[in-house]
Structure 1
Amino acid sequence: MTAHRYLAGVLAVAGLAVAGTIVATTASAQTRPTTPTGPAGPVARVAREPAPADFAAAAREFAVPEPLLLAYSYGLTGWQDHGGLPSAQGGYGPMHLTSPDAVAASGRGGTRSAAATARLRTDPARNTLARAAALVGQPAARLRTDLTQNVRGGAALLADEARQAGIRPAALTDWYPVVVRLSGGSGSSTLADDIFGTLRTGAADARLRLPAQPGIATHPGIAAPKLPAAGQAECPADLACTFVPAAYTWNNTADANDYGNYDPADRPADGNRIRYIVIHDTEGSFDGTVQWFQNPYAYTSAHYVIRSSDGAVTQMVHTRDVAWHAGNWTVNAESIGIEHEGVAVDGATWYTDAMYRSSAKLVRYLAHRYHIPLDRQHILGHDDVANDGNYVTSHWDPGPFWDWDRYLSLVRGGAQPQVAGRLVAVRPRFSTNRPPLKYCDSTGCRDLPAQPTNAVLLRTAPRDDAPLLTDPLLGGGTNDIADWSDKAVTGRRYAVAGRSGDWTAIWYGGQQAWLHTADLCAAGGATVTPKAGREVPVFAAALPEPSEWPPGTPAGQPSTPPAMNPLYTISGDQRYQLADTQRAGYYYARFDGANVPLNHTIVVGARSYYRISFNHRYLYVRTSDVTLG
C-alpha cells in the first residue's frame, strides 16, 4: 500500500511504502516451565481462590475429571477470581465465565459500539456466564462472585460442551477437543495446549495443588501446532520469543472501519516515528490475552505479551504496524505496546523477576533499534496515557506495585544518575514506601495489604492530615488504588510550586499538590507556562483540525473528524514539565480490503503541541499558547 503525508492542503507522496504482508503462520504454544509455578510473591492477594473441596465437588457432580478442572481454571486465571471484577476479556471468577457486556473498551481509542458488543454475544467463548448460569440453575450475578458456584459453572460448561460435540471422554486426553471448542472463535489450540501442558507439569500454590501427570499428551487427533519461521519474532537473540499473529479481519464488509485488531503500516519509513514504549498489564491470563488478540471482535491488541511465570515472550503485531493498545490514537501511532501477564491490584504477586528481566531485555533492544530514550518520558505506563475518547475511563495499569526504579535499572543496565535542575522527579524508596491503599468494587472497599508501592499520595496542604487532592473531572480524593486523581508515580517529573518545611508542592492538574520532599529528587528539563492573560486549553491528544483533512475523505475513528475538546485549562504562573514536542497528526486507516481513498494517510496539521506532565497523565497544549522556561 502507499503511505502519504498530507501537508497544508497539499497531498505529498512520502514514498511507496508497502506496509507488509500479514503473517498467516499457525499460532504455536510456548512450552510451560518444567517446575510448576504460578504468580509468585509473598504479598497477600486481594483476589480470592476456591477451596480444594469446590473443585472436588464440582468434578463429581458433572463427571469432569478433577485434574482437568484444576488445569482449566489455572490456565484461564491462575485460580484467582480477579477481585470480583471482570478481566479485560470480560471473564468472571476462577473459571473465567465471560459476559460480552463486561469486555473492556477498544484499545484503538474511543468506546466500543453497541453493534460490536452485540457481535460478541454470538461468540460462544465470550458469553459463557449466561450459559453456565442456566446449566447450574443459578442467577448469573451469583456466578460472578460466588466461588463455589463459579467452579460449578465451569464444570457444567465442560460437561455440556462434550455432550454437544458428541464426545464421551474415557480418559483425560479425550477432553482435549472439548477444551479446544471452548477456546472460542479464533480456532486456535494455544490455550488447550497450555492447559494440557499444565496437566503434565502440575501446578501449586499455598491452597491448591495439581499433581504433575507426565504421561498426559495432547489428543492424537489434533495436529501439533506449527512453529513459526525462524527470525519471525522481533526480539534480541538471547530472548525466547514466539510469533502468534493478532487478528486482521474485516468484520463487516459494509463498513470499511469495522475490522480488528490493528493497522498495517510501515513505521518509521512511512513518517510515523516510533517514539514511545507503553507498559501494560493484561488484567487476565497470558493464554486468555493471546487468544483475545486473535479474536477480531476484540478491537484491541499489543505488539508483545509476556508471561509471568517464566518471562516467555509472544509477539502478536509487527513493530512496523500500529497496535490498538493505548486507547489514544496519538500514542498508538507512535508507540510499541507490551502486555505483562497480571492483575494490577495483585501486581506484586504477578510481576516476577523473570518477567522484569525479559521485559527489560526486550525494551532495551527496541529502544536501541528505534532510538527511544530510556527515561520515563518515553518508557510509559498505560496509566501515563489519557484515553482520548473517554478520559474518565483511562486505564491505571501496570499500577502502583510495578517497581519502576528496578525495571528501568534493568533496562539501562544500571541506575540513572541524578541531574540537578529546576524540576523534581517522584522517587520514593520502593521497599519502604507503603501508603495505606484500598481496593473498591461494587461490593464496597477493603484495605490492601501494606506493600512496596511506586506512588505517593498528594495532599491539599503540607501536613499528613490534609485532605487528598481532588480533580474537577474525576472527583477522587481517596486512597482507592484506582483513583489516580491524587497519586504521583515514580519517575514522573513536575515543576515546583512551593515549599514548606519538609514538604514540597508541585503543579499537578491545575493545582498545588503537596508531598514529602524526601519522596522527590532533583531533575533537569524545560517547563512551559501559560502566556500572560490566557486561559490555555489542555487536550488528551494532538490532532489536526477538521478543516485540515483531505477534501472528501471521511476523517477520524470511527466516522467523524476527531474532536479537539479541551479537558482542562491552565493560566497564571502554573508550570509543567515539557516532555516532548508533537506536531498535530493523525494516522488515517481503514481495512486494506475495502480499498478506500487515501488509506494509510498521515494527516498532518499546521499546529504543533507540547506534551506536558500535567497530572497522572501526559497531556497536550498548543505551543502557541505557552512560553518555554
Structure 2
Amino acid sequence: MNRTLGGFAAAAALSMSACGVDDSALIVRNDDTQTERFEGGQEEAELRTSATYDTVFEAAGTEFNVPPALLKSMSYALTRYEMVASEGEFDGVPGAYGVMALSPELIAEAAPLAGVTEDAAKTDVTANIRTAAAWLSKQADVQQVNREQLLSWSPVIGEYTKLEDVAGRQAFVRGEVYSSLKLGVGRFSDELEVAGKTQALEAEVGEYSEVLQGLARAPDYGAGVWRPSPNFNSRGGQRPKFVVIHTCEGAYSGCWGWLTNSRAGASAHYVVNSNGTEISQLVRESDRAWHVAADYECSRNGNQMCNLNGASSNTHSVGIEHAGFASQTTFPAGQIDASAKLVCNITKDWGIPRDRFHVVGHGQLQPWNRTDPGRNWPWSSFITKINSACGGTGGGGGGTTPPPAPGALVIDSNNSNNNQARGYVQVSANWKSSSNVAGYYGSGYWYANTAEVSDGAAFFFKLDAAGSKTIDAWWTAATDRSTATSFVAFNARGERVGAGTVNQTRNGGKWNVVGTFNFTAGWNKIVVSRWQNPGKVVIADAVRVR
C-alpha cells in the first residue's frame, strides 16, 4: 500500500509530539490539613518545567519578539525538548528536526531569516530555536498578531502545523500548546501568572474540554473518542491476529488530523496521545486500516504465523499509532500504560495471544524503511503491563470501592474502573489526579482550582430509557475544598435539567445525595463545576446513578 503525504503539510503536521510522562499527581503533603498542592504528575512536571534551554528560548524570544513562554510550550508539545531527527512515518514526509520539530521546508524558508545554515538549524539547538522564532515572527507580521496577547498567536501556531483539518489545528493549539503553557513551563509561566495573563489560557483550555465532551465514544473502546477516517476497507472476513505498534513521528493532533483526511491514503485503528489521557479510534477493528506498507513475512517475526506469508499485514492486524518519534530516548509512562490497556482490550476481544510475536513493531514488518516505534520502546515492560491490565485489579491505599447498590451505576474518576459502554469521565488538562487525601473512591480522584471558567469534570452515563434518577456523589473532604461545589445535570439532548450544591469540606469518604433529576434516553452527564470565585479546590471522585 502506498502511504503518502504531500509537501510542507506533511512535515509540519506530523513533526510534532505531544507531551507528558505520568498522570499521577505531584503532591506536597501537609500533615495538618492534607490539602492539594500542585500540579500535574511529578515526572511530567519536572520535565515540562526543566530550565535546560530557558536561556535559549529567552534570547530567541527577545531577538524576534516572540513570547519565550510560547516558544517553550511549543517545544514541549512538539518534542518534549528532545533534539529529534525524524525519518517520517508516512511516505513523502520529509521528516522533522530539533527541539522545535522543524520541517526541511520551514528550515529552507526561515534559516536565512535567522542567519544560520540549514544544517545548523537541524542539528544545533540554538539555531533550531532561533529558526522557529524567526518563522513565527514573520508569520506574526503577516497575520498582524498582537504580540503581547498570547491567544492572538493561535492562527500562527495553527499555520505552523499546516494541517488542513481545522479541528486538528485547534486541538494542537488549545489542547497541546496552550494546555502545556497553562500547566506550567517553569519561570515563564510564573511570570505570566504574576502579570495576570493565565486566566484567558485557562478559559481557552476549558473551552477545548467542552469540545472533547461533545465527541462520540469510540465504537470498540469505551475509553476512546471516535474520529472516523475514510481510509479503510473490508478484511474480507478475516479476524485480526496481531497488533502493530507505530509512532506518529509527530504530535497526536497532527497524527489523527492527517489520518482522517481522504488525501492521506493511510490510517490506523487508534492513535494514543503522549500522556495517555486521550485515545482516538479512526477505523473499526473489524475493518482493515491502512497502516503497514508490507506483506507479512514470518521470517521477520520469529517464524510465527507462517501461513500468513504473502498476505497484506493490514488484513490481519490492528494498528496503533502513538504520538512521538522513533528517535526519542524515552516514552511517557502515561502513554505506555494507556496503550497497554488498549492492547489488552483488543487482544481479549479477538483472542490474540499477548506476547512479542503477536504485539509487534512497524519496523519489524517493514524493516527496509521503517524503525518505529524505535529502539527505546520499552517492550519488556509493555508486554508485562498488557498482561497485568488483562489480569490485574485496580484500587490503592487510602481508597475504597464499596459494592454498588442493586440497579445502581457508579462512574469512577478512573476510566479503567468503569464499564465505559455505560459510563465514563472526561476532564481537561486543568484537572489534576491525586490520591493525597484518604477516603477516595477506587484509586484516586481529580481536583481543580475554582475559577470563573466553563471547565467542568463530566461524568457521562447511558440510559436505555428516559426516567427520573437520583444522583449521589463521593469526594474526599479537606479544609481547602469549596463549600459550594455545583453538580450540574444535563440530559442526552444537552439540556440542563437541574443542579445540586454540596460542601466538600465535610462528609468525605461516603455517598452523598446531590439531587433527583429527569433524564432522557442516551448519554446524559453530571458536570462538577469549577465556576466560583478563585481560592478553593473542587473534587471529582465518583458519581452514582440510581
Query: How does the TM-score come out when normalised to structure 1?
Result: 0.46
Matched, 1:315 2:294: no
1:284 aligned to 230, 246, 250, which one? Answer: 250
Give, in angstroms, the shift of residue 372 of structure 1: 2.0
**What letter is aligned with 1:384?**
Q
1:244 aligned to 227, 230, 234, which one? Answer: 227
Distance of 2:326 and 2:45 partners within structure 1: 14
Q: Is the 8 A contact 1:39 1:309 kept in 2?
A: no
Matched, 1:272 2:238: yes
Give, in angstroms, the shift of residue 85 of structure 1: 4.6
**Which secondary structure state, in structure 2, belongs to the residue aligned with residue 398 of structure 1?**
coil
**1:372 corresponds to:** 352
User: Which residues in structure 2 correspond to 1:2-21 (within 5 Å)?
Assistant: none
Matched, 1:263 2:238: no
**Which secondary structure state, in structure 2, belongs to the residue aligned with residue 196 of structure 1?**
helix
**1:95 corresponds to:** 100
Give, in angstroms, the shift of residue 134 of structure 1: 3.3
2:315 aligned to 318, 330, 333, which one? Answer: 333
Matched, 1:158 2:136: yes
Larger Rg: 1
User: Which residues in structure 2 correspond to 1:196-275 (within 5 Å)?
Assistant: 196-203=178-185, 210-211=189-190, 213=193, 214-217=198-201, 224=208, 226-227=211-212, 232-234=217-219, 236-237=221-222, 239=223, 241-246=224-229, 248=230, 262-265=231-234, 267=235, 270-275=236-241
Give, in angstroms, the shift of residue 98 of structure 1: 0.9
Distance of 1:286 and 1:405 partners within structure 2: 24
**Which secondary structure state, in structure 1, belongs to the residue aligned with residue 246 of structure 2?**
strand
**Which secondary structure state, in structure 2, belongs to the residue aligned with residue 128 of structure 1?**
helix
Distance of 1:415 and 1:320 partners within structure 2: 21
**What letter is aligned with 1:195?**
V
Matched, 1:403 2:378: yes
**What letter is aligned with 1:96?**
A
- What CA RMSD, in Å, does the superposition of the two structures yield over aligned residues? 3.7
1:195–1:403 Cα change, 3 Å: closer
1:200–1:296 Cα change, 3 Å: same
**1:585 corresponds to:** none
Give, in angstroms, the shift of residue 336 of structure 1: 1.0
**2:388 corresponds to:** 413
1:351–1:392 Cα change, 3 Å: same
Distance of 2:270 and 2:364 partners within structure 1: 19
Give the total of aligned pairs: 325
**1:78 corresponds to:** 80
Give, in angstroms, the shift of residue 299 of structure 1: 4.0
Q: Is the 8 A contact 2:182 2:189 kept in 1?
A: no
**What letter is aligned with 1:392?**
W
1:272–1:134 Cα change, 3 Å: farther
Distance of 1:161 and 1:137 partners within structure 2: 17
Q: Is the 8 A contact 1:55 1:69 kept in 2?
A: yes
**Which secondary structure state, in structure 2, belongs to the residue aligned with residue 278 of structure 1?**
strand
**What letter is aligned with 1:381?**
G
**What letter is aligned with 1:217?**
L
Give, in angstroms, the shift of residue 278 of structure 1: 0.7
1:223–1:360 Cα change, 3 Å: closer
Q: Percentage identity across aligned positions?
A: 28
Give, in angstroms, the shift of residue 143 of structure 1: 0.9
Q: Is the 8 A contact 2:341 2:390 kept in 1?
A: no
Matched, 1:174 2:152: yes
**What letter is aligned with 1:364?**
C
Give, in angstroms, the shift of residue 41 of structure 1: 12
Distance of 1:178 and 1:295 partners within structure 2: 22
Give, in angstroms, the shift of residue 346 of structure 1: 3.7
Give, in angstroms, the shift of residue 52 of structure 1: 1.6
Gaps (5+ residues) in structure 2? Answer: 1-17, 26-38, 296-311, 392-546
**Which secondary structure state, in structure 2, belongs to the residue aligned with residue 217 of structure 1?**
helix
**What letter is aligned with 2:289?**
A
**1:136 corresponds to:** 114
Give, in angstroms, the shift of residue 71 of structure 1: 1.0
Distance of 1:55 and 1:402 partners within structure 2: 29
1:322–1:210 Cα change, 3 Å: farther
**Which secondary structure state, in structure 2, belongs to the residue aligned with residue 150 of structure 1?**
helix
Q: Is the 8 A contact 1:236 1:361 kept in 2?
A: no
Q: Is the 8 A contact 1:196 1:216 kept in 2?
A: no
User: Which residues in structure 2 correspond to 1:572-591 (within 5 Å)?
Assistant: none
Judge which range, 33-42 or 332-341, deviates more: 33-42
Judge which range, 356-365 or 84-93, deviates more: 84-93
Distance of 1:49 and 1:86 partners within structure 2: 28
Give, in angstroms, the shift of residue 368 of structure 1: 2.0
1:357 aligned to 337, 347, 367, which one? Answer: 337
Q: Deviations over 1:567-612 (max 9, x none)?
A: xxxxxxxxxxxxxxxxxxxxxxxxxxxxxxxxxxxxxxxxxxxxxx
Judge which range, 358-367 or 276-285, deviates more: 276-285
Gaps (5+ residues) in structure 1? Answer: 1-29, 100-126, 249-261, 417-629
**1:54 corresponds to:** 56
Q: Which has the higher helix share?
A: 2
Judge which range, 169-178 or 194-203, deviates more: 169-178
2:368 aligned to 380, 392, 405, which one? Answer: 392
Distance of 2:52 and 2:120 partners within structure 1: 15
